[in-house]
Structure 1
């Protein structure tokens, strides 16, 4: 027994020695992010400022419960809150913001959520000379009954890498009783893409020669739309994947309101990239597209899904959408065993919060922080590739194995890599991930025509 203890101690010394040597060679430096975060999931070089705007959406139509039966509509000017994130002057210019939102689950006590952000409220925007020119614009769109700071971690991250991000609060009708659901959802069916289009058009118009502040940073020709769930439903249409208006899903929408959506869908607003998290609308029982309409999209698409999504239906809905996008190059990142909540801030819920709140915000299997770091990594690679023309980022998306678990990375006995990211020397491992940490994921890729 004594000899065995000595042998184990010797082995420990060997391991410590190897680990120490590796640590000196490859120190872990992940400022502002857990060490487990993939390479591009780390905060970027820019400080981030944030401001909230109120934008008016004129010329819209709305309807009530009676209108769903009679087809009656009335004119409306929608007022939407849009939170903008952008590269800002030095971090000391303003305190970092804490975002606050109160959820009102039907027939339950309200729940107030707070989330500590990294952005500086109302901080002055950097100038174009400081960031090397104009920056791409990214529109973000939440899911049904979400809000504009629900994904503030992702918005801040994108802005820190040199983008202007505009996150829309779609002001979905509050559901106070079960009977409100159908009306609220029917309105969302026509409002999501229209909201995205009008916000995009207004920000593009504000980026002219006399623009100031963050507006002066916007390149109106380089645009992406990111949407989650119903936001993804809207994003695909905004980027050219128009709906099948004969779908029974639109049966509760008055024809005048549907015609307004149809007219907008015929106009190209110049979206250059789309990221759709768990997009709703592909599942057989509520399918809003046809193979023909989706095939007309030409903007590259990144779809992100949970393999057990029971809202958008991964197997028959999200995957079907991915397969029908034959007019463009696309990728689909899959979190194995995850359900619908595969994006969003890692909120700390009060102990007495209704379980309904957790169901709306939390992923049952994956840690939210882990999901967020992975999302940030791939979103950065995708946007840099398609909006900034950074071809080096293609290697992060064109992974060597569909199943991340199948990737390999040879190391010597006792070698400690201390968080080193896979690069050119590790071609059989998912690029930008630490050894053994690219796990539980799948990445599918198809080129236009496939």
Structure 2
């Protein structure tokens, strides 16, 4: 099913199935006065955060979207703990990436480079610090660049994780490679093809496995990683890709799907590694998306199915945090941006702390009065 993008709570809100390819709106104009550059919320962990980018080429397979490319090129952004507190803050995106993103979303009335002025917290190319650090791979939604999960990535790094965010080339509006070459969204023209979602998650699973293969030799800080402690999280089709990756690659011990319709089929014998669904009300039992109900029955290990009241599809991304800078007034009743970020960070970190650091998290055992928006399904959630 094709999606319709509506400008509402944040950068965009997807108003149909969570993982199919979104269609840019015909027009989307700001509805209020822009507030100036956005600032991502400060990380909540004890460590300063560093970041750097790797550029990898998989010559063993052609690119699935660019027929002229005989190898798969990937940009991987790393966030990690550092002892360095001063230095240049990493750019959120380039001015060209901002221009292409706003154009494809149909957002006018603000300068083309608006998103590139977003203020981040991570120090560019800082020296990594720590030892035996767990690794979390993250994957964005379709058409979203990796940077749309920066707030979550910075927070996890501040809590003592190495985070590897993958830009799946030609599946987002803009990915910049060395020399200024920009790869745009070739896959956007194929989103109605039969088997599209299944093909995307299979390709992303291959991307993740390749990155795990390459990281030890391509990043100087890789010796700080405990390679026995790897998890994956993603939003939308990135979340679906977490499931697909775990089915294919046993190195990924635990996974989180944030509001993504799943496509990879779990073996009928079941799947025992820890997995958490974290989503919007479309994923309640009997709701618009039924893939989680199907897969829930086949998850035989530790599992959680959490739904956030008032959440929209982009509530798990940086999108809502950009509303003010784009002059967008969030829809009434939608989960406020700062609260959505707090909830996402808290529950993702709790899951990872429990399953990669062996620290039991009571937050995951039952509903919390501190976070009344979070419903535990299927027992305590409904379609209201």
Q: What pairs with 1:295-374 in structure 2 (closer than 5 Å)? A: 296-308=270-282, 315-325=289-299, 327-345=300-318, 346-348=321-323, 351=326, 365-374=334-343
In the alignment, structure 1 residue 197 sits paired with structure 2 residue 204: no
Q: TM-score, normalized by length of structure 2?
A: 0.71
Q: TM-score, normalized by length of structure 1?
A: 0.61
- Check whether the contact 1:342–1:371 (CA below 8 A) recurs between aligned residues: yes
Q: Deviations over 1:130-177 (max 9, x none)?
A: x3x310111000111111111101001001111110000112344589
Change (3 A) 1:58 1:349: farther
Change (3 A) 1:364 1:193: farther
**For 1:151, what is the secondary structure of its paired residue?**
helix
Q: What pairs with 1:363-442 in structure 2 (closer than 5 Å)? A: 365-391=334-360, 393=361, 395-399=362-366, 401=367, 429-430=368-369, 433=370, 438-442=371-375
Q: Deviations over 1:362-399 (max 9, x none)?
A: 997111221110111111111111111112x2x11101
> Larger C-alpha radius of gyration, 1 or 2?
1
Distance 1:317 1:151 in 2: 23
Distance 1:235 1:271 in 2: 9
Task: Tell me which residue corresponds to 1:245.
Answer: none
* Structure number with higher helix proportion: 1
Q: Deviations over 1:255-298 (max 9, x none)?
A: xxxxxxxxxx3xx43211111101223xxxxx552671xx5322
Distance 2:166 2:64 in 1: 21
The Cα shift of 1:57 comes to 1.9
The Cα shift of 1:348 comes to 3.9
The Cα shift of 1:200 comes to 1.8
Change (3 A) 1:290 1:105: farther
Unpaired runs of 5+ in structure 2? 1-38, 172-183, 380-384
The Cα shift of 1:97 comes to 2.4
In the alignment, structure 1 residue 443 sits paired with structure 2 residue 376: yes
Distance 1:177 1:54 in 2: 20
Task: Tell me which residue corresponds to 1:125.
Answer: 128
Task: Tell me which residue corresponds to 1:289.
Answer: 265
Q: What pairs with 1:41-52 in structure 2 (closer than 5 Å)? A: 43-52=44-53
Distance 2:85 2:196 in 1: 41
**For 2:151, what is the secondary structure of its paired residue?**
helix
Q: Deviations over 1:301-344 (max 9, x none)?
A: 1110101369x96552233333331x211011211243322311
Which deviates more, 162-171 or 74-83? 74-83
**For 2:57, what is the secondary structure of its paired residue?**
strand
- Check whether the contact 2:84–2:127 (CA below 8 A) recurs between aligned residues: no
Task: Tell me which residue corresponds to 1:137.
Answer: 135
Distance 1:375 1:107 in 2: 24
The Cα shift of 1:350 comes to 5.3
- Check whether the contact 2:57–2:73 (CA below 8 A) recurs between aligned residues: yes
- Check whether the contact 1:196–1:234 (CA below 8 A) recurs between aligned residues: no
- Check whether the contact 2:137–2:163 (CA below 8 A) recurs between aligned residues: yes
Distance 1:199 1:441 in 2: 33
- Check whether the contact 1:87–1:159 (CA below 8 A) recurs between aligned residues: yes
Task: Tell me which residue corresponds to 1:79.
Answer: 73
- Check whether the contact 2:52–2:79 (CA below 8 A) recurs between aligned residues: yes
**Considering only aligned residues, what root-mean-square deviation do their CA atoms show, in Å?**
3.5
